[in-house]
Structures are given as structure tokens and as C-alpha cells.
Amino acid sequence: MSSLEKHSYDVIVIGAGGAGLRAAIEAREQGLRVAILCKSLFGKAHTVMAEGGIAASMGNVNSKDSWQVHFCDSLRGGKFLNNPRMVELHAKEAPDRVWELETYGALFDRTKDGKISQRNFGGHEYPRLAHVGDRTGLELIRTFQQKIVSLQQDDLAEYGDAEARLKVFAELTVTELVKDGDVIAGAFGYYRETGAFVLFEAPAVILATGGIGKSFKVTSNSWEYTGDGHALALRAGANLINMEFVQFHPTGMVWPPSVKGILVTESVRGDGGILTNSEGKRFMFDYVPDVFVDQYAKTEAEGDRWYEDQENNKRPPELLPRDEVARAINSEVKAGRGSPHGGVFLDVSSRLSPEVIRKKLPAMYHQFKELADVDITATHFEVGPTCHYVMGGVEVDADTEGTAVPGLFACGEVSGGMHGANRLGGNSLSDLLVFGRRAGTGAAEYVAGLGDKRPSASEADLEAAGKAALEPFHADAQTRPAGSATPENPYTVHTELQQVMSDLVGIIRREGEISEALEKLKGLRVRAENAAVEGHRQFNPGWHLALDLRSMLDVSECIAKAALERQESRGGHTREDFPIMDPNWRSVNLICSLTPGTNDMVLTRKPVPTIPVELLSLFKRSELEKYLTPAELTVLDGPNSSSTVAGEQA
């Protein structure tokens, strides 16, 4: 590929969401030359859609909040399967990362004394989410975009070139990571606008590509969420962990059909909204699981008092972690107590005045008014579960975000471990900030450690990458896999894939159905290889989808394989045939990887990193007994354990 356009940088960041931009800023501030690559225009990444807020224990609204409480909430939310070191770093560093945003120009909503305001969210003990109305993600993206502009202005002044050390290549899709032997050497992709190929050579690549929701039919996610980063990492030799854990957000829009899946922010419940069934009953009181009975209100009266007086009352069960609420809604609908279009009712109109609703939830008001003709200040509205977030992702080192492949880093939704079996609302945006920055540092240290050595891509690999990307244009009879007579429409294959995943590996799973899904995925893979596109390479969505399908199939296979293997129910993985959360499974991570040199996906087991005793001691023993095995609990009986350590930490 002699005519191939080539660029050379110190660090390539793939993804311009919150994680990628924070990583890029960090690497650039540490003196490296950085390129950011993204599929959409700059400023449009999925993070703009985030609504509710950023979780950080600043204690502005309730001064009792601390990193320790945030740590415990996140671990509980993740059903103790999280990587404890990540949870610790996240809880400790999130406040600094939020305050830093103000120095970049972010304007959060304020408390009466002028500090950053914080709101309640499911699973968070205290009001913890820094927010801007219900458009927090937009604020985050715009703030980073403007910070990047400011760094570019510095470079313009210093070098006469705004893009001397930090450049954004927008509307560019990476299709392959390239390696030099065992180490990363760069990324290969195409410009969406022209279809031309381009190579970025760099000793460090940071994946920040977000999630996988487009493999499911009903989702809150955008077209970008095809799991590219997950698939790129897998093919480069990194591991994916926890892929069976997919979060279904309990409240997506269900009507009209064209908006089905669009998110209704959890803030609606955080600010007082209640869930009712067709009989008008607040059904969540019937669904408080054992592990949470001590933390949630038993009566409506107590739940209602909590909004005013959190010291003396417990929170209403509408604010249970998302997996619990999504399952409850699913059960109500199944029992025939759903709303007309197969959801349940969410209501703020009877709880807050129209003025307050419009002020606190302006985007939701707008969204329902314009898309569904519903006035949420006047009436309840229908909601139901929607595929929202993937807890699973690339396995990383907690401190540096490095993966199993030297030079490859991952942060944000594409990485795994931080959220365990279920993510708390607000913990993603803080995750992007904390681990985005750490990935930037990790990459900078790695590059410094290389000295003058620079890996380079081999000509053969580039040829192969280019050939693979052009296959959809040549799906003619000779190259067509055996058994497939006609070329496939990529849109049709995509729709069928979504149907398979939603029907067979969705919110409630069974062995027979998952096995069936795995069979069907095999068939879809053959058909995807046979997807043909019309037209030429300039901005051709059919071609783009044909390529994205490969990532979606890789990711779907990982999800299904891991879901079949895990014979218990925990967080974002519910098995009807194994309904119990089993402490013996708590310490097991399922790892997806490719057998080197092949396309065979294998599943292996690895222990979840142990929770250090000083962190375990932050919990009451009675609570730990619900999650850990008796053998695991014995560490608490050791000489330098429990009470003293807990005392220091409290």
C-alpha cells in the first residue's frame, strides 16, 4: 500500500467521548503528540446524550458523603464483582476530576451556597451527582471540546500551528489495530467522507470507543455503539471480561414505536417520580431483594419523607439499582399488570409542580412533548427497559489502564472491571474522567519507557487490513462462502442480529435460548461475510454498516458465550434457570479471548481480584455474609482486621 496516507504520533486515542477526550488532554499535557480519531463529527460522541449527572462524593449537599461511602455503594451496586482497586481509585479521585472541569469552563447547577449542586440517584446513599439540568453529558463534551481548543490555541501561539500537538480526525473509522510483533504499532482505518484508507503509526493506542447497544433491538444507544473497540481489542490479543453483564435501563420510552428505547433519565425518579402498574399500585415495594431490605423504605409514607429528611428515613425502592428495577418492571408486565404498550407508568406530575418539573427536567419535558405528544407535567407516561450500558469490556490494569497487549490501553465504557455486575447511574461519567486521565498518564509513561524504539506496521498487515475492509464491495459469486446463494443486505442482517440478541440473550436468559442464539449467530456470521454494498466509497452508510457488523457479531458471541457459562443471576445477568446469586460465582470473572492465530473465541475463568481487608471492613459483616463465602469472610477474623481498621477508615 505505497499510496497509503500515513501519520505518525506518540499516542492515538480512538474515541472522542468523555473518556477519549480526557485521555487525550492528559497525554498532550504530559508533552506528547496526540491524535484523536472518531466516527462522528467532533462534539457528537455518545457522551453528549448522558443526562443525569456525574457521581463524585464532594459532599456539597450532604457533608456526610465520602469516598468510602461511594466505594461501598459502587461495590454493592456491582454485586461485589467489581475490580476493587478500580472502585477505590474511582471513588477517591472523582471529586478532583469534577472540580477540574470548572477550571476548563464547565457551569454546573449550584447549591444555595454557590457550590456544585448534587442530586440523588439509584444506589447512591447521598445526593452525589453533579449535574446541569438533565444535559450533563453535553456539558462534559462541550467543556472538553473547549479545553482542547484552548490547548490548540496555545500551540498556535507557540508553534504557529494549532494542530501541532493535538489533532482531531473526525468521521474516521478504525477497522484494525496494527502490531509490530507483540506490541502495538498503530491503527488503520478509513475516512467516512472519502472512503480513503489511512494509517496512524504510534507506540501507544488508547481505546475509548464506548459500548455495544446496537446489537440489541431496543436500546438507548446511538449508531456508534457497535462494539468496535471491544472487537479491535479482541483481535489484537487483549482480553474481554464480564461480557455477560449488560445493563438494561429500567426506563426507556415505549411509545410511539419509533422512539422506543430512548432514555428517560433516572433523575425523574431521583427527583421524586414513582412507578405504578395498571392497577395504580407502587409495585416496587414488592421487589426489594434480601440484600437491600435494610437500606430501603418499607412504606410509601417513609419513602416520601426521605426526600425531605434523609437522616431519619430510608429511600423509596424506586431508587434501587437499575437491574432490580428493570427486572421488577419485566415481571409486572409479564403478570399482565403493564401499561397499554407493554411498559409501566412513571409519574412526576403528581409529585412536583409543573414549574419545578420544567426546571429540573427540561430535556425530558421537551423530549416527551416533541416526540410523544405527552405533557409530563400533567400526566404519567409509559416506560420500559432498554439496553443501555455494557459493564463488560477490555480487561485493564486498574492504575494505568494498560491491557494484555503492550501499548494498548482502554478506558470508559469499552473497558471492564470497574462496574462489576451492574453500574450505578452517574458512575460512568465519573469513570470516564478518572480512568480517561489515568489512561493518558499510563500511555505517556509507556511511551517514555520505550526511549527511541518505535514499533512499525508491516506492509503485509496493511494489505490485509485494506483487503478486509473492501470485501463488501466484492461479494460476488466466486468469493461468496459456500451455502449462501445471494448477496445479503447488511441492514437486514443487522435487524436479525438485534432480534436474536433481544429475544434470546436479553434481560431474562435461559440455557436453551442462549444456545439457540449461539447457533443463529454462526449463521448470521456467514451471512454478514456475504453482505454486499452498492455504490462507491464516499460516505456510504451501507458499507459502514457491513463493516460494523463484524464487531457486533464478535461482541454478541462473547456476550452469549459468557451468559451461557455463568449459572447464576447477578446484576445485569439474569438466568431464569439459575435465579439465585451464588457466592461461589462472585469471585469468578469470565474472560473472552481469541486463540492466537485463529478466529476461535475461547472462554476462561479468572478470579476477581481480592478485596483488601481494610476495604472489606468498611461494610458490616452481616451485609458481607450475603455476598461472600464463609471461607472468604475469614480474613475479617485475622489479627489486624475488622474493628480497628474499620475505625480508622470510617
Partner 1 sequence: MSYQADFKVWRGDTDGGDLADYTVEVNEGEVLLDVIHRLQATQAPDLAVRWNCKAGKCGSCSAEVNGKPSLLCMTRMNTFVPEETVTVTPLRTFPVVRDLVTDVSFNYKKALQIPAFAPPKDLAPGEYRMAQVDVERSQEFRKCIECFLCQTVCHVVRDHDDNKTAFAGPRFLIRAAELDMHPLDARTDRAEFARDEQGIGMCNITKCCTEVCPEHIKITDNAIIPMKERVVDRKYDPLVWLGSKIGLRKS
> Which of ligand FAD, partner 1, none binds 488 (CB below 5-8 Å, type-dependent)?
none
Residue 427 in the binding site for ligand FAD (CB under 6 A): yes
User: What does 93-141 look like in DSSP terms, one character per residue?
Assistant: HHHHHHHHHHHHT----B-TTSSB-EE--TT-SS--EE-STT-HHHHHH
Residues 223-282 that bind partner 1 (CB under 8 A): 223-224, 255-259, 262-263
Q: Which residue in 351, 24, 289 sits closest to 163, CA to CA?
A: 24
Residues 79-108 that bind ligand FAD (CB under 6 A): none
Of 70 and 575, the one with the shorter C-beta distance to ligand FAD is 70
Of 412 and 583, the one with the shorter C-beta distance to ligand FAD is 412
Burial (0-12, 13-18, 19+ Cβ within 10 Å), 637: exposed
Least separation in angstroms between residue 170's CB and partner 1 is 8
Set of cell numbers at residue 315: 429511600
Residue 534 in the binding site for partner 1 (CB under 8 A): yes
Least separation in angstroms between residue 262's CB and partner 1 is 5
* Binding segment toward ligand FAD, per CB under 6 A, in 42-50, 234-242, 449-457, 486-494: 42-50
Radius of gyration of the chain (CA): 24
Residue 315 in the binding site for partner 1 (CB under 8 A): no
Residue 322 in the binding site for partner 1 (CB under 8 A): no
10 CB-near residues (< 8 Å, 6+ apart): 27, 32, 33, 34, 202, 203, 204, 447
For residues 230 and 477, the answer to whether their CB atoms sit within 8 Å is no
Per-residue contact flags (x/-) with partner 1 for residues 483 to 512, judged by CB under 8 A? ------xxxx--x-----------------
Determine the Cα–Cα distance for residues 272 and 21; give it in Å rounded to an integer: 34
* Binding segment toward ligand FAD, per CB under 6 A, in 45-53, 364-372, 522-530, 592-600: 45-53
> Which of ligand FAD, partner 1, none binds 52 (CB below 5-8 Å, type-dependent)?
ligand FAD
Question: Of 25, 27, 50, 391, which one interacts with ligand FAD (CB under 6 A)?
Answer: 50
Least separation in angstroms between residue 87's CB and partner 1 is 22
Residue 40 in the binding site for partner 1 (CB under 8 A): yes
Amino acid at 444: A
* Binding segment toward ligand FAD, per CB under 6 A, in 217-225, 277-285, 365-373, 622-630: 217-225
CA dihedral 248, 254, 256, 257 (to 10 degrees): 50
Residue 48 in the binding site for partner 1 (CB under 8 A): yes
Of 138 and 532, the one with the shorter C-beta distance to ligand FAD is 138
Q: Nearest-5° angle of CA 80, CA 512, CA 481?
A: 105
Residues 594-633 that bind partner 1 (CB under 8 A): none
For residues 532 and 213, the answer to whether their CB atoms sit within 8 Å is no
For residues 313 and 297, the answer to whether their CB atoms sit within 8 Å is yes
* Binding segment toward ligand FAD, per CB under 6 A, in 5-13, 66-74, 412-420, 488-496: 412-420
Set of cell numbers at residue 425: 447511574
Determine the Cα–Cα distance for residues 20 and 195; give it in Å rounded to an integer: 24
Residue 210 in the binding site for ligand FAD (CB under 6 A): yes
User: What does 361-420 look like in DSSP terms, one character per residue?
Assistant: -HHHHHHHHHHH---TTTS-EEEEEEEEEE--EE---TTT-B-SSTTEEE-GGGB-STTT
User: What does 630-645 look like in DSSP terms, one character per residue?
Assistant: HHHHGGGGSTT-HHHH
249, 315, 419, 480: which is the annotated catalytic residue? 249
* Binding segment toward ligand FAD, per CB under 6 A, in 328-336, 408-416, 590-598, 614-622: 408-416
269, 315, 388, 537: which is the annotated catalytic residue? 269
Residues 147-176 that bind partner 1 (CB under 8 A): 147, 149-150, 152-153, 162
- Strand order of the β-sheet with 166-169 is 166-169, 34-37, 11-14, 204-207, 408-410
Q: Is residue 269 annotated as a catalytic residue, yes or no?
A: yes
Determine the Cα–Cα distance for residues 386 and 325; give it in Å rounded to an integer: 12
Per-residue contact flags (x/-) with partner 1 for residues 432 to 471, judged by CB under 8 A? ----------------------------------------
Residues 237-276 that bind ligand FAD (CB under 6 A): 263
Of 174 and 581, the one with the shorter C-beta distance to partner 1 is 174
Per-residue contact flags (x/-) with ligand FAD for residues 175 to 194, judged by CB under 6 A? --------------x-----
Q: Which residue in 109, 93, 98 sits closest to 271, CA to CA?
A: 109
Residues 127-146 that bind ligand FAD (CB under 6 A): 136-137
Q: Is residue 235 annotated as a catalytic residue, yes or no?
A: no
Residue 540 in the binding site for partner 1 (CB under 8 A): yes
Of 108 and 306, the one with the shorter C-beta distance to partner 1 is 108
Of 135 and 314, the one with the shorter C-beta distance to ligand FAD is 135
Determine the Cα–Cα distance for residues 552 and 545; give it in Å rounded to an integer: 10
Set of cell numbers at residue 440: 493518558
Least separation in angstroms between residue 105's CB and ligand FAD is 19
Determine the Cα–Cα distance for residues 514 and 550; give it in Å rounded to an integer: 20
Of 52 and 250, the one with the shorter C-beta distance to ligand FAD is 52
Backbone angles phi, psi at 621, to 5 degrees: -60, -40
Residue 428 in the binding site for ligand FAD (CB under 6 A): yes
The residue behind cell 469468578 is: 588
Q: Which residue in 359, 354, 378, 376 sits closest to 367, CA to CA?
A: 376
- Known catalytic residues? 249, 269
Q: Which residues bind ligand FAD (CB under 6 A)?
A: 14-20, 37-40, 45-47, 49-53, 136-137, 173-174, 189, 208-210, 220-221, 224, 228-229, 263, 388-389, 412-414, 425-429, 432
